[in-house]
Structure 1
Amino acid sequence: MELVSQLKSLADKIDQMKDKIETEESTKHAFVLPFINLLGYDTFNPMEVVPEFTADIGLKKGEKVDYAIFQNEVPILIVECKNWKENLTVHNSQLFRYFHVSKTKFALLTNGIQYQFYTDLDEKNKMDEKPFFEFDITNLKDAVIQEINKFHKSNFDVEKITDNASALKYTKEIKKLIAEELQTPSHKFVRQFAERIYSGRLTERVMEEFQELVYKAFNQVINDQINDRLNAALNKEAKKQQIENVDIEPTSKVITTDEEMDGFRIVVAILRRKVGVDRIVPRDTKSYFGILLDDNNRKPICRLHLNGGKKYIGLFDEAKNETRHPIETIDAIYQFEEALLESLSFYDNE
């Protein structure tokens, strides 16, 4: 997904530049506008991204929110920005006032690193006190990126986001409560288990003992689940390696010729424009000289057949079927430059 790489690139940029960013205005230009842009909105089009959007409140004129994003001439998201060093919590009351008069369904409060999305779940046309979705752009997980993608211009749907906002908001609160209970189990939480297990009177001393037991039990359950997943992943990788190793011919008695190495160097010279040299690996066998990506038998780039009466270069399609092409000399490998570069794209998603 292109959005994933764009978000990672922006996160890397923020990490490198933030210590040099001193003002709120610099935060907007260096961090916030690139984020709006990667969501598909044209930050240079004042009909789509409106800076200093007027949000007059009653008799108080001239109130402006930093940005308003429009779709079909209707504001769909207002954005209030702060310096990246500032705590966002103290500023949501300002956005609360803007939300009421802007007639938008969503509001974003951000310092370029922390992002908080608000809507009106609790009371219509009145911004909720708590965000329904928030994240740190320098620490993104797959599930968070999927939610960010819903705000992309090509995917934006008010009803779908609103329907999902409630689940996001309450899931976030539930996760927060679970984390707190796992760290320091509350009296009420511990009692839920103690009453089902302990037949005696639940004195203060007994409750203290159960608090420690509940804490240990929950952490053991989590650790067991993590270990089970790790073991399953390791077993899967081991089986994969066994399958790959079946196709590997023994390297004993295999002699690599100077001509094969010259051919390998030509392939490296072609491919290094797209991948690092260390990722292009030779694999010589009795019947051919193979060239692999990442030293992985499942990622063949080509095969050189140079030791018979005629010389060939074997190229692979996306299904890993080899087609041999005759060559007079190893310099003829340059004629297959486009096909060799194309072979790299077959493994982009693997």
Structure 2
Amino acid sequence: MEINIQLKSLADKINQLKNKIETEESTKHAFVLPFIHVLGYDAFNPLEVVPEFTADLGLKKGEKVDYAIFQNGEPIIIVECKSWKEKLTIHNSQLFRYFHVTKTRFALLTNGINYQFFTDLDAPNKMDEKPFLEFDITNLKENTINEITKFHKSNFNVDNIVSNASSLKYIKEIKKQINAELENPSNDFTRFFANKVYTGRLTEKVVDEFKDLVQKSLNQFISEKINDRLNAALTKETIKQQDEEIVTIEEENKIITTEEELEGFRIVVAILRRKLPTNRIVHRDTQSYFGILLDDNNRKPLCRLHLNGGKKYISLFNQNKSETKLSISCIDDIYEFEKELLETAALYETE
């Protein structure tokens, strides 16, 4: 199962269960361990996942972090868990203390819903105060799923993740700044645009007036870009549908229903009318064969006639809807398969 499907399944489970989860231990078992499993690690294998991981911290003995994920005998991720009802705060976290005494480059702080991944970008062997990857598992975007995939057991590569972590960290912070400027443009941000379009002196009053203009301009620009993308997508889909309709029409135009096929259909109707109303027996011609269906339903084939080639055939269907193709010399031979046709019709009636 692909990781995006597993994450979606876990998110659905969390939304269903969270109001029944009361403790930190329950959060670990119901939410965190399944997430570790999604990453490809066996929570019941002590060589891969060690609960209550202990490392000696100078004079402090016996302090434990909730989980350590191991690879090749070394911890690669240490995990500290909180109850899903708690907000995550890195202050006083044991992750800081454990990070520099283990060989791990990654630490995870989570309440089972919100996840924060840390590394040591700012100073070697010292955990950063800000996470480079942060997400709500119940509201994942595609680019975030791509980043989570890098932590999967089959993909895990320390150098690749660390080299990408710096970009993720700064992209996250830049996006926060962009959001802040969109909601309430700063003086510096406003001046940047005002200087481009205003020829007068940028007094404090002028800057204040431009704040509203800058905010409206940005929001309108973003809305127009989104609408352009949507319209382009809709146009593309419309063209695709039109092309499909043209292809369908062209294929239908190539189909010629012969009098022999219609005569064969009338023979089948004559056989089956003892068990079925004639209006339920329908023919549908294709380029490959002349199909006869019950209730005009493709899932209920009664038989197929192959009459346009050098040799003539009839296809019959058993209870598993497996097709058997039998040779006939002329359409009158269809009468020889009366028993099989009636059995097929009876089968669908039983269903």
TM-score band, normalised by shorter chain? 0.7 to 0.9
CA distance in 2, matches of 1:68, 1:221: 47
Indicate conservation of the 8 Å contact 1:108/1:118, yes or no: yes
| TM-score, structure 2 normalization | 0.75
CA distance in 2, matches of 1:331, 1:310: 21
What per-residue deviation string (whole Å, max 9, x for no partner) do you get for residues 126-165 of structure 1? 0000000011100111100000000000000000001000
| Greater gyration radius | 2
CA distance in 2, matches of 1:76, 1:55: 14
CA distance in 1, matches of 2:80, 2:211: 44
Pick from 318, 328, 334: which aligns with 1:331?
318
CA distance in 2, matches of 1:246, 1:196: 51
CA distance in 2, matches of 1:335, 1:203: 83
Indicate conservation of the 8 Å contact 2:305/2:313, yes or no: no
| Alignment RMSD (CA, Å) | 3.3
The change in CA–CA distance for 1:123 and 1:9 in structure 2 (over 3 A counts) is: same
Amino acid at match of 1:139: N
Report what 1:128 is aligned to. Answer: 128
Could you say what secondary structure the match of 1:129 adopts?
Answer: coil
Report what 1:36 is aligned to. Answer: 36
Report what 1:168 is aligned to. Answer: 168
CA distance in 1, matches of 2:62, 2:304: 81
The change in CA–CA distance for 1:333 and 1:88 in structure 2 (over 3 A counts) is: same
The change in CA–CA distance for 1:47 and 1:216 in structure 2 (over 3 A counts) is: same
Amino acid at match of 1:37: H
Compute the displacement of 1:102 (Å). 2.1
CA distance in 2, matches of 1:113, 1:194: 42
Compute the displacement of 1:112 (Å). 0.4
What per-residue deviation string (whole Å, max 9, x for no partner) do you get for residues 179-237 of structure 1? 11011101111011112221211122211111011001111111111011101100111
CA distance in 1, matches of 2:90, 2:144: 24
Amino acid at match of 1:118: F
2:233 is equivalent to residue 233 of structure 1: yes
What per-residue deviation string (whole Å, max 9, x for no partner) do you get for residues 39-78 of structure 1? 1111110011011000322111110000001110011000
Could you say what secondary structure the match of 2:138 adopts?
Answer: coil
Bigger shift: 196-205 or 169-178?
196-205
Amino acid at match of 2:74: V
Alignment of 1:101-180 (within 5 A): 101-180=101-180
Amino acid at match of 2:47: M
Could you say what secondary structure the match of 1:47 adopts?
Answer: coil
What per-residue deviation string (whole Å, max 9, x for no partner) do you get for residues 78-118 of structure 1? 00000001000255633211212222110000000000000
Compute the displacement of 1:174 (Å). 0.4
Count of matched residue positions in the alignment of Structure 1 and Structure 2: 293
- Where do 5+ consecutive residues of structure 1 fail to align? 261-282, 292-300, 312-324, 338-350
Report what 1:51 is aligned to. Answer: 51
- Where do 5+ consecutive residues of structure 2 fail to align? 270-281, 325-351
Indicate conservation of the 8 Å contact 1:27/1:83, yes or no: yes
CA distance in 1, matches of 2:195, 2:3: 49
Amino acid at match of 2:102: S
Indicate conservation of the 8 Å contact 1:327/1:333, yes or no: no
Amino acid at match of 2:235: N
Indicate conservation of the 8 Å contact 1:81/1:110, yes or no: yes
Report what 1:67 is aligned to. Answer: 67
Indicate conservation of the 8 Å contact 1:48/1:71, yes or no: yes
Report what 1:196 is aligned to. Answer: 196
| TM-score, structure 1 normalization | 0.76
